[in-house]
Structure 1
């Protein structure tokens, strides 16, 4: 990606992926089932719910609820197996999944805001995150180098700060950060990390739940790109470009 003009401060827009930008639930579950069998030699009976959590947490809980005594080697082996099994299914994503309504237009519109870098803050491991966005042509708007991913064993709020630090190091400038996600866990992470939060009621959390959790702005979905851009600008314009 081409860095924004150096003359202005920058905004970093971090997107959650699942149920914010795409829905690939069927393929994800199949990949988990294959990875579970590869690591344990047993069929997957129950997959732990995502609920905005990273793959690392989902893996640990899935192993536990299926009666596996977890050791230090389970997580890295499972992450490797999950990346492999998901990659093997990447051609199914566009057919069996979908981009969320308005996702592509919203990413494109936000990319046109002065000084904006877009990346992801996701529970998905990095290789799978790239597959998910590439399947729907969303990857060209995202700088994956500065994102935060599910194989990094940090609380999501800490991971947001890690992503902010990566962006600062790469672009040699401070960033005002906005997180866009669909779960109350996303909202909580933004609040703890001191980032602005745009919540989208396109996942399993209702608009009321997202508001109660402390989101700055709640949108019903991404179908109105102008509304998304206006929300990002409203939360960052007082900092970006020297405006007070």
Structure 2
């Protein structure tokens, strides 16, 4: 089976480090008026966040400047992590990842709005080995969040020569829930991120938890519909 995992608010808390990196890179390249004020961040793709920030300052040419922004953002983000960061792994995550990695029926993959490089930097800074995850889909690989789970599933199929028998998605925002449901995933929403429990319940995931600290219960739910081999 395939377990798709969001990063921010699900596996770790970055305490705004990514947002600070976006603002610093954008301000350096496009002026001090570049800001994320009023722009929702949780569960969204980094290129879309950049595009909205550019439009907010009257710039409609964000697509042609995206590569330059991406390059500088990744440099700034690495610098922020090097000089000190607030990345912290969330309750239950370390044990849960270890249990899933050791389970012969489970393959883990990332589905995140982050760029691949910044995703791996965040994980490593929080003490999570990026090598635990195979394939997945990242923020610059789709136009909207709904594009990412199908891409991760297709990459599993291409690598294994068959589709996964079951796909589970763990996330902390409504965007995680709706994109997972659209792709036919069973979805577990966790209330450790930016979206309130009421919003998560209203988006109709199969399960909503306060956090992932009850590892036995989470594993039992993940494995409840495996249908056999991975």
* TM-based fold match above 0.5: yes
Whether the 8 Å contact between 1:56 and 1:153 is mirrored in structure 2 is no
- Structure 1 residue 92 displacement after superposition: 4.7
Residue 42 in structure 1 maps to residue 32 in structure 2: yes
Give distance in 2, aligned partners of 1:187 and 1:25: 22
Give distance in 2, aligned partners of 1:158 and 1:46: 24
Q: Select 2:15's aligned residue among 14, 17, 25.
A: 25
* TM-score between both structures, scaled by the size of structure 2: 0.90
Residue 80 in structure 1 maps to residue 66 in structure 2: no
Cα distance change on mapping 1:162 and 1:41 into 2, 3 Å: same
Partner of 1:217: 207
Spell out structure 1 runs of 4+ moving beyond 4 A: none
* TM-score between both structures, scaled by the size of structure 1: 0.85
Partner of 1:241: 229
Partner of 1:64: 55
Give distance in 2, aligned partners of 1:152 and 1:201: 26
- Structure 1 residue 43 displacement after superposition: 4.7
Q: Deviations over 1:130-167 (max 9, x none)?
A: 011111221256325x1110111332222111111111
Cα distance change on mapping 1:152 and 1:132 into 2, 3 Å: same
Cα root mean square deviation, aligned: 2.0
Secondary structure of the structure 2 residue equivalent to 1:205: coil
Residue 161 in structure 1 maps to residue 144 in structure 2: no
Give distance in 2, aligned partners of 1:54 and 1:111: 26
Cα distance change on mapping 1:92 and 1:233 into 2, 3 Å: farther
Q: Deviations over 1:25-83 (max 9, x none)?
A: 33212211221023214353434221311101111111112333324312222222211
Q: 5+ residue gaps in structure 1?
A: 1-10
Give distance in 2, aligned partners of 1:86 and 1:218: 31
Cα distance change on mapping 1:57 and 1:178 into 2, 3 Å: same
Give distance in 2, aligned partners of 1:214 and 1:37: 38
Give distance in 2, aligned partners of 1:73 and 1:158: 22
Give distance in 1, aligned partners of 2:86 and 2:112: 21
Residue 150 in structure 1 maps to residue 144 in structure 2: no
Cα distance change on mapping 1:69 and 1:156 into 2, 3 Å: closer
Task: Return 99-108 or 150-159, whichever deviates more.
Answer: 150-159
Give distance in 2, aligned partners of 1:200 and 1:222: 7
Give distance in 1, aligned partners of 2:60 and 2:199: 35
Number of positions where the alignment pairs a residue of Structure 1 with one of Structure 2: 228
- Counterparts of residues 172-211 of structure 1 (less than 5 Å): 172-175=161-164, 176-211=166-201
